Structure 1
Amino acid sequence: MKEFNIKKPDDKIIPQLQDKINNLTKPLGSLGKLEDLALQVGWIQNTLSPSLRSPHHLVFAADHGVAVENISLSPQEITYQMLLNFLSGGAGVNFLARQHGFELYVVDAGINYDLSFTNPSLIQHKISKQTKNYLYESAMTSQEMDEAISFGAECAKMCFDKGSNILALGEMGITNTSSSALWMHLLTGVPLKECIGAGSDHTGNILDHKFDVLSRAIENYAGDGSALSVMQYFGGYEMVMTVGAMLEAAQNKMVILVDGFIMTNCMLMASKINPNVLHYAIYGHEGNETGHRTVLKALNACPILNLGFRLGEGTGALCAYPIVDSAVRMINEMSSFKTVEVTKYF
């Protein structure tokens, strides 16, 4: 598998950043989460004057062979239909990307549909039309996993080369909440029941059947329990590409905006490959999918928003971006007690 050289940001700048934040013209700590975010972005960028440049958003899409087990009320064709919707500009991710100035790319990592057209926002790298059914066999081969990791990394590097230093990530793939639940269970030890949510089924009627299928899949799993084995056996191409993109973004010292349940589990997986990736992660929101709060807790993550989202696509990450922007503006644009005639107050 591709190797990543991810370094922890230099702690030496933290006291200087904290001093600058503490001496802005406000009571100590009074801007709360903005102060934490400003410190993190300045630490990542190793500067007292951080900036956000050319924000990019990648949506990886792929289908899952396990969909034949009817563990989602949404039919598999929704994956390619929504990909077409992304490319036509009519989805939730589109209006948010436009609103917040993100350049959006959609990646066909393995949808079960032939795309016979080109689009400036479309990146085609179909590894296969879908993964295999992990109820009975590994979702992908080790070679396919390596290819997905590498291509996801290439996509993140493309964004970096276009001048971006902040990357949001999203996904589309019917049944990928199930893969995420399996990753979460096997990597954290949280009971499977607590990892499984209804996905797109807001009524929750699918839960018992979903639990049965995923439990049998674990019983049939013959891997060694390592992160790479779990990723290969239960992952989707879109999820594995996301892991590669996260690792590459961190290697290039980009801020990574993490979305909901699926993307948070991709960050969990990335952290098992290289723990230093966590330093570059900002968690956009806590979604309504069962287990998201638990996996956030396992990562010691404090999300910015809680808006009742359960859409995916990266929408929660995009909604959180203005808060990160406000944090950067705070540290750069507020006056300091040292430079203006305001008595320091508490």
Structure 2
Amino acid sequence: MLLEKTIAEVGTLYPEPMAEAQKRLDSLIKPPGSLGRLEELAVQLAGITGNPRPVVGDRVIIIMAGDHGVVAEGVSVAPQEITHQQIPAFLTGVAGIGVLGRLAGARLVVVDVGVAVPVDYPGVLNRKVRPGAGNIARGPAMTREEAVRSVEVGIEVVQGEIDRGATLIGLGDMGIGNTTPSSAIAAVLGGYAPEEVTGRGTLVNDQVLRQKINVVARALEVNRPDPADALDVLAKVGGLEIGGLAGVILGAAARRVPVVIDGFITTAAAMVAVALQPRVKEFMIASHLSGEQGHRLMLEHLGLVPMLYLNMRLGEGTGAALAMHLVEAACRVINQMASFSEAGIADLDEDKILK
């Protein structure tokens, strides 16, 4: 099975290139460690790729789209139709991710893995597992077989893009109502109470927020997902695009390509991916801290530190697009800055500086 094969192929970071990268960074014309997270990111990229002088080439943002039956419970003020109506704006470049993805020099790959209606827009990859997830407040989102298939769609899509030359992958999502299943996933896999990880999503007022919290609690009670079984959690309280994004993470990690996660939804997918294969965490880069309640707890659970704090909560991959600039910056630092010897500058004696 593709999923089992991919899980088994995920390795660990290469220590030797990481050590070489760190040595190079420490030799550059700056105080050691003075570029902070950029240096840490350069070392991580060296460990992922095996190249002590990592570079960023072709970059791709993969947007998984799917609908959710749970919108029938009044958890979103936005109608479900917006899921498929928004897709053309991605592809024509006028949506948020269209603008910021273009700025990042990233290609957008939009995948219909579970939109409720047929999507026949040019350029959309049709990988529909089923037309929308079930209402998790009243039963499972999908069968276990459908959950596996949604993850495998993500693996197939990302590895196809890597075969075409992608060297950096960003995650994006589209699906009205998808903060509710994401909250449920976070509650189960992170061990949090529904009220800790359930936020306002799209334009939600206090009344709708209370309803969302109750719906998440009801979904957990009705479905009783097993926290020790990530596929059970995905099938019972997840979503098709969340499964697809988990597959993108697994598929990229298996090919040793870094993955930039976006906000709340893609981090729920990251929790699923890490539960399936803990080693994938080393291949992920957290782009930003979402304005969505619970995102901080999810990142803490994964042990990831976001690079940007912009109070964004749009999704679509917008945070991932912005963080791609920082990934490139880390590569440029290690490749284009000169060392003390290369610049003919006296090396800094760190012991004297500290004194």
Query: Which TM-score applies when normalising by structure 1?
Result: 0.96
**Local SS of the residue matching 1:132:** coil
Post-superposition Cα deviations, 1:84-110, rounded to whole Å, max 9, x if no partner, equal 221232100001111111111111111
In the other structure, the counterpart of 2:160 is 158
| Residues 1:316 and 2:319 aligned together | yes
Of 293, 315, 328, the residue aligned with 2:296 is 293
| Residues 1:109 and 2:107 aligned together | no
1:277 shift after superposition: 0.4
How many angstroms apart in 2 are the aligned matches of 1:145 and 1:40? 31
Mapping of residues 251-330 of structure 1, within 5 Å: 251-330=254-333
| Residues 1:62 and 2:66 aligned together | yes
In the other structure, the counterpart of 1:99 is 103
Higher helix share: 2
1:344 shift after superposition: 1.8
* Runs of 4+ displaced beyond 3 Å: 202-205, 222-225
1:14 shift after superposition: 2.5
In the other structure, the counterpart of 1:218 is 220
How many angstroms apart in 1 are the aligned matches of 2:176 and 2:325? 29
**Contact 1:100/1:321 (<8 A) preserved:** yes
Post-superposition Cα deviations, 1:35-77, rounded to whole Å, max 9, x if no partner, equal 1111111111112211111001110101011111111111111
How many angstroms apart in 1 are the aligned matches of 2:222 and 2:205? 29
**Local SS of the residue matching 1:326:** helix
**Local SS of the residue matching 1:87:** helix
How many angstroms apart in 2 are the aligned matches of 1:105 and 1:115? 14
| Residues 1:176 and 2:181 aligned together | no
Mapping of residues 73-84 of structure 1, within 5 Å: 73-84=77-88
Amino acid at match of 1:323: L
Q: Which runs of 5+ in 2 are unaligned?
A: none
Amino acid at match of 2:114: G
Measured at CA, do residues 223 and 15 of structure 1 come closer, stay the same or move farther in structure 2, by a change above 3 Å? closer
How many angstroms apart in 2 are the aligned matches of 1:205 and 1:320? 34
How many angstroms apart in 2 are the aligned matches of 1:49 and 1:22? 13
1:223 shift after superposition: 4.0
Post-superposition Cα deviations, 1:281-339, rounded to whole Å, max 9, x if no partner, equal 01100010000111111111111101110000010010111111111000000101132
In the other structure, the counterpart of 1:188 is 190
1:151 shift after superposition: 1.1
**Identity of aligned pairs, percent?**
35
Of 54, 57, 73, the residue aligned with 1:53 is 57
Q: Does 322-331 or 220-229 show the bigger shift?
A: 220-229
**Contact 2:158/2:252 (<8 A) preserved:** yes
Of 22, 29, 40, the residue aligned with 2:26 is 22
Q: Which runs of 5+ in 1 are unaligned?
A: none
**Local SS of the residue matching 2:308:** coil
In the other structure, the counterpart of 2:75 is 71
Amino acid at match of 1:59: I
**Contact 1:165/1:253 (<8 A) preserved:** no
Amino acid at match of 1:243: A
**Contact 1:198/1:205 (<8 A) preserved:** no
Query: Which TM-score applies when normalising by structure 2?
Result: 0.94
How many angstroms apart in 1 are the aligned matches of 2:159 and 2:293? 33
1:213 shift after superposition: 1.5
Amino acid at match of 1:241: G
In the other structure, the counterpart of 2:247 is 244
How many angstroms apart in 2 are the aligned matches of 1:207 and 1:281? 30
Amino acid at match of 2:208: I
**Contact 1:197/1:204 (<8 A) preserved:** no
**Contact 1:55/1:164 (<8 A) preserved:** yes
How many angstroms apart in 2 are the aligned matches of 1:232 and 1:13? 39
Post-superposition Cα deviations, 1:6-47, rounded to whole Å, max 9, x if no partner, equal 000222333222111011011111111111111111111112
How many angstroms apart in 2 are the aligned matches of 1:192 and 1:73? 20
Q: Does 93-102 or 1-10 show the bigger shift?
A: 1-10
Measured at CA, do residues 53 and 204 of structure 1 come closer, stay the same or move farther in structure 2, by a change above 3 Å? farther
Amino acid at match of 1:150: E
**Local SS of the residue matching 1:55:** strand
How many angstroms apart in 2 are the aligned matches of 1:97 and 1:261? 18
**Local SS of the residue matching 2:57:** coil
CA RMSD of aligned residues (A): 1.3
